[in-house]
Amino acid sequence: MASKLLRAVILGPPGSGKGTVCQRIAKNFGLQHLSSGVFLRQNIRSNTDVGVLAKQYLEQGQLVPDHLITRVMLTELEKMQNQHWLLDGFPRTLAQAEAINKICDIDLVISLNIPFETLKDRLNTRWIHPPSGRVYNLEFNPPLVHGIDDVTGEKLIQHEDDKPDAVVSRLRQYKDVAKPVIELYKSRGVLHTFSGTETNKIWPYIYTLLSTKITPVHPEDTSQAFRAEEQ
């Protein structure tokens, strides 16, 4: 097995279960989970130059522009030169993917392909704790107390763009922006797509793929999950 450092990316629309998959990959394989959302929040809380600018865009309901998010992420990647890592939420656009390409080669891209109706249902029941980014789903990952964050006891909110009217346009927008990024990584032979409606059923296949690239630090018995899938 190669000893070179693994550079991985996870792609998927809002509600696709990226966060759950990233947590499992980080735990089982020891990859550093690098979330663009987490780094943006850190910059905003710390009032960095990038954070101040990013906050202005977000307060106006706009996406943070490519050049700002790229600056944040490339700064973080410079600190991770001697570690395996997994990018989450970046690259979101072709310009961002090309910016990464200038500093390193991506070895593996995991793309989550979840049916539109499943995404819609998940987003409509999703609630968030804004300061930490913790996500709850009323159907399969509810908070212990309805509307309250498990850790801090603070109130949860539902994003405006998770409400039914906004979800459809949000998912269409993601599809349009993601398509060229997916095509780029497909053309390079590093794209692996996983389809399904349940993260627990997709996970064993992702685990098996990653096991061919890097030795698990916490090996997991996925045979039971595969047997359940076959029944």
Which of 160, 173, 194 lies closest to 11 in space, CA to CA? Answer: 194
% of the chain with per-residue pLDDT over 70: 94
Please give the Cα distance from 192 to 66 (Å, whole number). 25
Numbered residues of the known binding site for AMP: 36, 41, 62-64, 89-92, 96, 170
Residue of 121, 107, 72 whose CA lies nearest to 92: 72
List the binding residues: 15-20, 36, 41, 62-64, 89-92, 96, 126, 135-136, 170, 199
Q: For residue range 128-150, list pLDDT tens digits in order.
A: 898 888 888 887 789 999 999 99
Q: What is the pLDDT of residue 221?
A: 65
3-state secondary structure of 199: helix
Residue of 163, 121, 166, 156 lying closest to 140 (CA atoms): 121
Q: Is the pLDDT score of 217 beyond 90?
A: no
What's the CA gap between 75 and 80, in Å, rounded? 9
Count of CB atoms situated within 10 Å of the CB of 53: 17
* pLDDT tens digits, one per residue of 139-178: 778 999 999 999 999 999 987 777 777 788 888 888 999 9
Element housing 127 (H / E): strand 126-129
Q: How far is CA 193 from CA 120, 196, 205, 231, in A?
A: 20, 10, 10, 23
Count of C-beta atoms within a 10 Å radius of residue 186 = 14
According to the 3-state scheme, what is the secondary structure of 33-68? EEEHHHHHHHHHHCCCHHHHHHHHHHHCCCCCCHHH
Strands 85-88 and 32-35: parallel
Q: Supply the pTM of this predicted model.
A: 0.81
Cβ-proximal residues to 6 (8 Å cutoff; 6+ apart), any chain: 31, 84, 85, 107, 108, 213, 214
Region 72-101: what's the mean pLDDT? 93
Q: How far apart are CA 216 and CA 47, in angstroms?
A: 38
Cβ burial 121-131 (10 Å sphere, 16+ → b, else e)? bbbbbbbbbee
Known binding residues for a ribonucleoside 5'-triphosphate are 15-20, 126, 135-136, 199
Local confidence band at 227 (pLDDT 50, 70, 90 cut-offs): very low
| Per-residue pLDDT tens over the stretch 43-78 | 999 999 999 999 998 888 788 899 999 999 999 999
- 57: β partners: none
